[in-house]
Structure 1
Amino acid sequence: MSRSLAALVIGNSKYKKAGKLKNPANDAADMAVALAGCGFTVTTLIDGTHKQMDKALLDFKASLKKTDVGLFFFAGHGVQIAGENYLAAVDVKVTDEAEAKHSSLALNRVIDMMETSDTKTDIIILDACRNNPWARAWRGDDARGLAPVYAPRGTLIAYATSPGQLASDGKGRNGAYTAALLEHLATPDVSVEAMFKRVRNTLSAATAQKQISWEHTSLAGEFYFNLSVAQRITDYGPAALSDDLFEIDTKKKSHKIISELKSLTWPRQNPAMAGITSGMIGKVAKDTLFVMGRNIYQASTGNSNSATSFIHDFNAKTAGAPIVSRKAILDGMLFEIFFDKTGALRDEPKFRRFNEVFELQRFAALKSSFDFLAACLLPYAGRYYAIPGKGHEVVADVRLGKKNNEAIVEVFVGGQQVLRIDDDEPGGWGDADDGKIHYRKRTKKQVEEWLSEQLIVPERLLKISFSHPVAADEILHLPMGWTCRLPA
């Protein structure tokens, strides 16, 4: 199941006429990361002026064309004027209510824009129920918090607290409401309504029931911020996607082969591979073939020459088998690279035979397997320069040092310098006792292989340019403890 998700996230802290709020900028930055992790394409605006907020909303409207789900998040000052809600820009004019209205973003405008878009589901989240710091300067009543609003069909509007009540700026990095959101947002397989109930419970406990969040919903269908792969992918059953749940029946030849492949002993794995023939493949259920594919890849990374040979000669080894059966085995091999035995995304892919398997992407008849992988990885798009399986080329420009011509100094992808200290790996600049960068000597080919793994892009699709010509046998200096990975 593929979903198109877009979000506009705004956090205003540095108000010119009300002093600085501590949390909203942090709230927006952290929500942007969380939403990106759930598959949203996120636009973030920090400390937006009225003009910037207006433009951001117009751009957001354009981005919602052919989008399934739109989400708007605002943290900062929100005020109620004559029963309507306004989200204050950092340069809001506060002489009177009229000026404030015309220099703020009207919540009704956001609602109307999202209602008339192509989206099926719209979510508006407001951590903006703080006190009105300008109330004394205005003639009108000091209406507390934000007013309730009508939620059009397919829309959920979530407030940090109940209508007419106030929420305070938090004591930590995040406001209490956003902190609760961040705790529950990415919980797998929890519907959006159930997620907000969890947020309400957490928020209530954190504030001694002084702040109770509230939602108005007219959603017509179910929405989940984070669907586990077993819920998103229906091609195979849960026991295949989480193959630690797959029950082995050794009376079946195919199950016996899987059992031997799971042995982690190549003297048992190699003979088992001999039993995988085109005739046998055509008689086996696709869930079993998927699990078999997973374990063929696992065996190949553990030095089973027969499993590795099967990958290299996949077309020949499976020739004559039904297309759906061949697909199930290759689907399993690709899935095993990126997902663990519970069906969760690996922190780091299994790279040992990564490039060998992705060589099969050259064959048009096998395209559906790579489409399957791309669908599995789509919610994690923010972790990749290009979603594996899509077949997109990635260009990397490597700059070598001037004083030390062999030292890799910078790596540019998409115009951005991406080489950085890996905080999770010792040996980088921050961990070196002498304060110097230490290097590993690597050939040009080894550097290219390293970049393929770092960028998670098959070598066939990775185009690398060096700042000056590098001979095939030339030794380059690769900084130890540095990475090109996108931050998780």
Structure 2
Amino acid sequence: MKTLAIVIGNNNYHEGAVLNNAVNDATAISETFKRLGFNVNFFTDITASNIPDILHYLETNIKNYDSTIFYFAGHGFELDGENYLTSITCQIPPANKFSAGMDSIKVSEILSIYSNYPNKVNLMIIDACRRTFQRGGGLGSSSIQSPRGTLIAFSTSPNDGASDGGYKGHSYYTGVLLDYLGRERLSVEELFKKVRKSVYSLTNGSQTTWEHTSLISDYYFNTGQLVFSLEIPYNESVVMDQKFSEDSDFGKIIDKFKSYNFTTQNNGLEEVLKISPETLDKNQKFVLGRNILQAANGGAWECINFIKDLKTNVVAYQEKNGDNHLLNGILFEVYFDSNGNYRKDKKNRLLQEIFKVRKKEELKNSFDFIKNLLIEQQDNKIYLPDTKDVIYDIDIVASNKITKTEWSTETRQMISKISLNNIDITEAISRYNLYGGNEEALIEYLSDYLCIPKELIKINCLIKLEKIYFDRKTQVT
């Protein structure tokens, strides 16, 4: 969905009304929106003279987008039934509604523009006062009726206050909002409900966020274009490595890895191993790790050998603080694709080789890095790599069945259920070509599906699994 975003943050009000975090909050929101692929127009410390241009821009361009977002952080108030978002030139308190109107954006003006486009998704996010003249206040806020297709989100309830700071260097509201914006497939209604719960909890019930919605269509900030964690310590160009392009000798080497030609990829590895790791920055090491695994997974033999001897090869890339950006890239490539999205089908061809280094204490930071990203995916069927081993119990319900074949009679073990932590994974495993296999073969497939080291899988079954088949009702056609 093509989205236009207008983001405003105002700090520099007159003496006694100066804010500390509004610009910082708006900056973080702007950067996040850009990473989400939105067309962002970012303004700070706007004056009365900027307001007509901003409103004209919105009115002129809204027709070219599927959705719009208007975010404001600063002072706001209500006067005579109108809600105002103030520029830094606004007198606080205003002399009257006429002076307020000259120096502020009227919420009704934005809603008037939105009302002409009821079939679009239009959002207003206002981190501003609603009771006193601090950023956690206003003169009070009048009731708002949003036109169809609009959601208005306030940082606090009508006639209530909100904090200018308090959470991760931001206001409680924007800080929490930033925590949730990257959540893939989290609807806008679900997102703001989560924000409300978190803000209420963090402020011990003193601040309750508020929304008014007349949305008809569903809307998701992140539909997969942004990796879930917004705190990942690498540039977007290597997290979404399809975008990576570097006009340098190193960039030309990465191009070789992306060639899908085994000989060229092997030549790229030979060249990169001649480069001193100290000359590469963390983003280069990260994207290098990703591309080595990508080439190895595709069959480039020298890259496969590099992964098979990973314990030796990653040592040269170890940082003094314990970070290993090359290993981080390899691990990231296993679970995340070239758009930075969590993979449905993991790159697990060489996973057992990679997991051999998981017990090395000096590499703990890398396994903590990927473990934290996997925790955020909330996939409770996936193994969380760690330097400390945990046995994964796989519970299997099966029965012996005597079956006549063309040549003989044999006993088969008919599996009716496979579960991990009470999660039924029977259907997924039945898709593998396991028929007639034994317990060892089943462990291979479980390891592949769950991305678990084979030695950590323990099969719990009342009968010995020697010739496995699935009940017809569990088979997938």
Instruction: Tell me the TM-score normalised to structure 2 length.
Output: 0.49
Instruction: Tell me the TM-score normalised to structure 1 length.
Output: 0.48
Between 1 and 2, higher relative CO (CA 8 Å, sep ≥ 6) is seen in 1
